[in-house]
Structure 1
Amino acid sequence: MLTAPRRVLTLLVTVLLLVTTFGDAASAEPTPGADEDGGQNLTVRQALDKATAEYNDAKGRLDKSVADQAAIGDQMAKAQTRLGELQASAGAIANAAYRGNRVSLTNVILGADDPDDMLHNMVTVEYMLQQENKQLREIAETQRQLEQQRKDIDAAVANQQAQLKIMETNKKTAEDALRKAGGGADVSSGAPSGGKVTTNAVARNSDGSYPKESCSGDDPTTTGCQSPRTTNMYNEARKAGFTHYTSCYRSGGGGDHPLGKACDFSANASTFVNARATGADKTYGDNLAAWALANAKNLGIKYVIWYKRIWQPSSGWKSYGGDGTPAGDHYNHVHISMQ
């Protein structure tokens, strides 16, 4: 039979064991944590984030340059047409002068019957000379514009070639980072696609890149902060019907959450579930990921992670190296990172 002190000791040990057991169970948290990127080290995450951001900016500059080139081409076509008209008109004037049909000041004076006629004819000749001079100046200016436009086209092409090199370099860097983290294989077959564009384009710099942003606004999902583009993305997702539980800002760890540039959209309506999404929840996640892809350029989305896949604009859907948990493998939520 146990004595009172031994019974007390046994009771304390039992309580401690229960606390430990429940504590371990509670630690299996379905909520994405600071290391939700599946054990990737900070250097790999930073390389991925930096490469993808630089790729997006280079792509923006390329798109802007291509649009500028097209606009310059249209201007050149109009200038070339106008130059042809001016040259034809000038040729007709020169031909008339060669044949002796051109009105001269001497002919006006000698052919005038009275002073009034002479004065009128002199004014007419002066007007014709002014028109000819104006036409010649317009020819010269049009030729100058065409030469400048040719230089602008050459500069646009050189810029496009430079941006393509930057894009290719950053594509390779991002893919290398994914492989180091245990992912990077092509998994485009069966991946979410077909989302509808429901958004307008966010502001860009004059060269087509995205303006730099900080964690300057309130996060509607936590007590933290958000960048303006992240808030816009969150609001646009809500407008598009993606209203399940969402958490954005998170302090600590690497990645974009502490910068206010990422959101985790739960597949479940009310919370993060510690299991793979199935059924309607899986469909919800697929639809959200597809919508994010379709609106990525307009919103400034850097990458999307869902169901052990990661989508980047440089290479599409690739496998994602998680940590074996529903949260770490992103089976229970869609992660969207912003530029």
Structure 2
Amino acid sequence: MAAVLPRRCTALLALIVTAVAVTLAMPASPAAAADPEGGTKKLRTALENAAKGYDQAKTKLAASKKRQKQLTTRLSQSESTAKAMTSQVTAVAQQSYQMGRISSVGLLLNSATPDRFVQRAQSLDILAQVNSQTLATYQEQIETAKRAKTALDAEVTEQQRQVNVMARKKKQAEIALAEVGGGSSGGFVSADSPAAEPAPRNSDGSWPSEKCTVDDPTSTGCITPRTLHAYQESRSDGFKRYTVCFSERASGEHPKGRACDFSAASGGFEDKAATGGDKAYGDRLAAYFVKNADSLGVMYVIWYRQIWMPSTGWRAYSASGGPAAVHTNHVHLSML
């Protein structure tokens, strides 16, 4: 019995060693692999929160300004109508004073014939209805103007609140970017960039909540409808070089289907910084997404050691690593 136990232990130990060896030999899961985009998960989370908060405040601000414009029109119309009715109301007041209850009864009693009596009674009734309607309309216009003024004051307060939120989100983005350079930069902007077809928005101007639900034409994965729209618009406007959107990453927008990497070189991603015509292509593509950011729903663009966000404009983005990490061989697009 004593001789059997060691053999069993030896066999068990061999199985454990084999299992460990197989496990160590297995490649790491793509999802757990280091993100080749550079930066950190903390940075990307901070940028996403700042960008989404800024966009929401911007949308609410635009909606408030639209309501303010409508209220201003309503106030102007009510005040103009009330002013125009002032003379009518004055006449009604004078008429009511001159034709009080006794005067009205006197007019009826002085009727020469029954027919005349009925005619006068009808006239007085009609006059009372007209006077009542005039006064009611006048009062309605006054109340409408008061409500419009109160609502306008509320919209001014709302707009200031959203401006403050935007400023706070801008500051948050700047603080996060300060860890990777973050200073203002020239960036890539072109007034000659083509205009993209706008992506669908909600009736209040906000972006629909989307998930990775449509097939990614650049991979076997999925992307959001808005990401697909941006990809298709860029291709229709001439940017047709190799692109990859969905990919398994430890963090960021790629695994969520909300990001694409656009190769600067015509033959695909190269392990070197783009120069010459490839650099010019990347410049134009980055400028294209910046110009159409509001139409497409762009969260940020990264290209050639610089990052653009709606709240901050172009900023230095000094991640460390090779061309992929510092974005000198491809343009990175992240979507809201």
TM-score by length of 1: 0.82
Letter in 2 for 1:178: L
Asked if 1:203 is matched to 2:237, the reply is no
Asked if 1:309 is matched to 2:306, the reply is yes
In structure 2, what is the Cα distance between the partners aligned to 1:215 and 1:58? 25
CA distance 1:284–1:141, shift in 2 (3 Å): same
- Matched positions, count: 303
Greater relative contact order (CA < 8 Å, ≥ 6 in sequence):
1
Conserved? CA contact 1:34–1:251, under 8 Å: no
Structure 2 equivalent of residue 91 of structure 1: 90
Structure 1 equivalent of residue 35 of structure 2: 35
Asked if 1:297 is matched to 2:294, the reply is yes
In structure 1, what is the Cα distance between the partners aligned to 2:232 and 2:221? 16
Asked if 1:58 is matched to 2:37, the reply is no
Q: How does 1:1-339 map to 2 (within 5 A)?
A: 35-38=35-38, 40-98=39-97, 105-106=104-105, 108-110=107-109, 112-180=111-179, 182-188=180-186, 191-194=188-191, 195-200=193-198, 202-204=200-202, 206=204, 208-339=205-336
Conserved? CA contact 2:271–2:324, under 8 Å: yes
CA distance 1:201–1:223, shift in 2 (3 Å): closer
Residues 212-270 of structure 1, C-alpha deviation per residue, up to 9 Å, x if partnerless? 22112221211111112111211222222222221111112211111111111112234
Tell me the secondary structure at the aligned position of residue 182 of structure 2. coil
Conserved? CA contact 1:277–1:331, under 8 Å: yes
CA distance 1:97–1:242, shift in 2 (3 Å): same
Conserved? CA contact 2:188–2:284, under 8 Å: no
The alignment-based identity, stated in percent, is 37
Conserved? CA contact 2:199–2:229, under 8 Å: no
TM-score by length of 2: 0.82
Contiguous gaps of at least 5 residues in structure 2: 1-32
Conserved? CA contact 1:34–1:250, under 8 Å: no
In structure 2, what is the Cα distance between the partners aligned to 1:328 and 1:103? 95
CA distance 1:138–1:328, shift in 2 (3 Å): same
What displacement does 1:51 show?
1.0
Tell me the secondary structure at the aligned position of residue 185 of structure 1. strand
CA RMSD of aligned residues (A): 2.4
Residues 33-58 of structure 1, C-alpha deviation per residue, up to 9 Å, x if partnerless? 962332x2211221111111111111
Residues 156-177 of structure 1, C-alpha deviation per residue, up to 9 Å, x if partnerless? 1222122122211211111111
CA distance 1:200–1:111, shift in 2 (3 Å): farther
Contiguous gaps of at least 5 residues in structure 1: 1-32
In structure 1, what is the Cα distance between the partners aligned to 2:101 and 2:234? 73
Conserved? CA contact 2:305–2:316, under 8 Å: yes
